[in-house]
Chains A and B, each alone.
Chain A
Amino acid sequence: MGLPRSPGVWMGCDLGTELGRQGAVLTPMALVRRSSIAGLILIVAMCVALLVGPVRVSIWRAVASADSQDRLILSGVRIPRAMVAAITGAALSGAGVVCQVLLANPLADPYLLGVSSGAGLGAVLVGLTASGPTILGLSAMGLGAFAGALGALVLVWSVARQVYCLGQTGLILAGVVVNAFLSAVIMIVVALARSDQVYATLFWLIGNISEESMGLVWVAGLAVCVCLSGLFLISGRLNLFCFGQQQARLMGIHAQRIQWMAFGLAGLMTAVAVALAGLVGFVGLVVPHAIRLCLGPDCRQLLPISAIVGAAFLVLCDTLCRVVVSPAQLPVGVVTALVGGPVFVLMLLRRARGFRPI
């Protein structure tokens, strides 16, 4: 298996060494080994999600009888839900890596590109007029959020293209301005709307993992896999954005083309995640940082491993949501911040203790 080639190798240095931990050159075998470990973590998380819940379920009864309640809970509730959590977590973490690299900003998350407010506006507008499931069982709010997120991406894209000369700053500012503008439109709609549905829509947007139809799960999973694969193919070139756009151009890559490609794929993944689960916060910000702390900033491993670990993280957080106050449930965004925050601080402290200034 060959890794996506990093142009830095042609310049006489291996970015795996330059960007990664000292002495840790990223070889295909190392990537496979680390990805396998991450995959194992995801499998364990999925098993936990399927076996733990507000109701005690017997795997053997589920297998033995097609009509058993255990089979129904496992196949109709827990499996679709765990898969929605995994797809959402993978999409947000992968998009988080791309945003942080592309914008050279450690605080960047997938929602910085205007997606959150676009999704919010789409969901609120649709929530005022439609209800009930639509395509593949996706709720009207989910569909509205997806369309709104894509619309916001196009808007950010259009603005950023006009101010491309400003580099990464131009893209960040375009995202921030579009976010602010669309947020204001949401507030106007909420203030003027006569429907209580608006409040229900805003509650949905907080971020909730729920059971979707398997058809929708497969389509969303396929879309996220395609986007992640596309991003992995350009991950070697994305590494060069760590040094800034100018440097990336000097090192021989078509910075603008790579930037737009990464921007589009990351935005599409985020839109899929928002349509499935609303605005789940924290995953896209913290998981890439945590993996970067452990394995270094080489995008060729940061992207796939962040996606897999992000999937596992959200699956475990959703499991906690289901059981902590059972049979009631918590919004998953609350748990991602409550669990992820302290874990991330501990990792930072450990890293800081091992830091030796030159």
Chain B
Amino acid sequence: MGHPSLGNGLVIILTCMLLSGCRERQAVASKTCSPERIASLAPNITEIVTALGLSGRLMGVTSQCNWPVEVSSRPKVGAFWYPNLEAIIAIRPDLVIGLEIPSHCLVAARLQRLGYRCLLLRMDRLEDLFAAIRGIGEAADCTVQAKGLCDELEGRIMSHGEARPRRPRVLFVVQRRPLRVAGPGTFIHQAIELAGGANAVSVSPYRYPPISTEQVLVASPEVIIEPAGVEDVTCLANDPFWAMYWQVPAVACGRIYQVNQDLVSRLGPRIADGIAQIARCLDGM
């Protein structure tokens, strides 16, 4: 077939523009029981989907999805914080799974308008992880696997920090400048508790509060943990950034550690490994 002339192309485009409003009204929500083509809008959702044994049905992931390694080569549907509607439609998903965050809510609203089935999950605390696994299990018709994964995760998560005589105060730093740490109400706070520690910033109206030098001194953490691009726990005893906090016990004793950011910052099935890394920091590696 030859190339269309400009005139014909214009007529077609203008016709499409006029019909575009009609197309929305014709859209019918496709309610399939067992989705065969899943699009994931977040790395932790990708990890849950693959942990449920649905890797073969995962047709689209975000640019940040890097685990398991084989999903890195799957078609991309944009960035985690800014999904691309067109790229999502291009993979013809019958289930789109995202988080209850503003950018995902907006994309989901637009997809639903076009007739796509979307599942949005709240992922703030550890109990949300189990609810999300069960939710995805129901949506993807694999409730048995979901229950099995929940049971296994629960067992692994609860296995840390039992024999510790005293809970060391932990400062979990999510950002250095300005200093921002994990506060109460976060799953990291719960992870610290489950690992056998106590969050040094346990009272704050914010979930990830920015704190001053004075507050660091008052919190007096015995262990400082930072997520970073490292595979395993790494000690940062002589880091110049922390030298100014020399009065803090964690700095004085050289108990500053980096942990794998993908394990501790993503609320997914690998959070159990993240808790294990935090526990090792508390044990002094």
- Interface flag for A69 (CB, 8 Å): yes
Chain B 12-38 per-residue mask, 1 if CB under 8 angstroms from chain A, else 0: 110111011101101100000000000
What chain A residues lie within 8 Å of B19 (beta carbons)?
75
Given known contacts A197-B102, A328-B82, A329-B78, A69 and B21 CB-to-CB distance under 8 angstroms: no
CA distance A71 to B115 in the complex (A): 14
Q: Which of A106-145 contact B (CB under 8 A)?
A: 127, 131-133, 137, 139, 141
CA distance A50 to B79 in the complex (A): 22
- A73-B86, A328-B63 known; 20 other A-B pairs, CB under 8 Å? A46-B13, A47-B9, A54-B86, A55-B89, A55-B90, A66-B26, A72-B23, A78-B86, A80-B20, A133-B106, A211-B85, A214-B24, A215-B21, A326-B87, A327-B63, A327-B76, A327-B77, A327-B84, A327-B86, A328-B84
**Cβ contact within 8 Å between B16 and A60:** no
Shortest Cβ distance from A142 into B: residue: B106
Chain A interface, DSSP helix/strand/loop, else mixed? helix
CA distance A50 to B11 in the complex (A): 13
What chain A residues lie within 8 Å of B253 (beta carbons)?
none
Q: Which of B85-141 contact A (CB under 8 A)?
A: 85-87, 89-90, 92, 101-103, 105-106, 109-110, 113-114
What chain B residues lie within 8 Å of A50 (beta carbons)?
13, 16
**Cβ contact within 8 Å between A77 and B16:** no
**Cβ contact within 8 Å between B89 and A69:** yes
**Cβ contact within 8 Å between B86 and A214:** no
Top 4 nearest A-B pairs by Cβ distance? A75-B20, A214-B21, A327-B87, A55-B90
**Cβ contact within 8 Å between A200 and B102:** yes
CA distance A329 to B245 in the complex (A): 40
CB distance from A320 to the nearest CB of B (A): 14
CB distance from A132 to the nearest CB of B (A): 6
Chain B contacts to A: CB under 8 angstroms: 1, 4, 9-10, 12-13, 15-17, 19-21, 23-24, 26-27, 63, 76-79, 81-82, 84-87, 89-90, 92, 101-103, 105-106, 109-110, 113-114, 205-208
**Cβ contact within 8 Å between A60 and B1:** yes
What chain B residues lie within 8 Å of A211 (beta carbons)?
85, 110
- Interface flag for A53 (CB, 8 Å): yes
Across the interface, A79 reaches (CB within 8 A) one of B20, B84, B103, namely: B20
CA distance A43 to B6 in the complex (A): 11
**Cβ contact within 8 Å between A47 and B13:** yes
Among A79, A127, A200, max chain B CB count under 10 A is at A79
CB distance from B8 to the nearest CB of A (A): 9
Across the interface, B87 reaches (CB within 8 A) one of A43, A54, A83, namely: A54
A sample of 19 inter-chain contacts (CB < 8 A) reads A47-B9, A50-B16, A59-B9, A63-B12, A76-B20, A76-B114, A77-B89, A132-B109, A141-B102, A200-B103, A203-B81, A210-B106, A213-B113, A322-B86, A327-B77, A327-B84, A327-B87, A329-B82, A329-B84
CA distance A328 to B82 in the complex (A): 7
- Interface flag for A201 (CB, 8 Å): yes
**Cβ contact within 8 Å between B10 and A133:** no
What chain B residues lie within 8 Å of A53 (beta carbons)?
86
Q: Which of A306-342 contact B (CB under 8 A)?
A: 322, 326-329
Q: Which of A27-84 contact B (CB under 8 A)?
A: 43, 46-47, 50, 53-55, 59-60, 62-63, 66, 69, 71-80, 83
Shortest Cβ distance from B75 into A: residue: A327
CB distance from B66 to the nearest CB of A (A): 15
**Cβ contact within 8 Å between A194 and B206:** yes
**Cβ contact within 8 Å between A69 and B92:** yes
CB distance from B96 to the nearest CB of A (A): 14
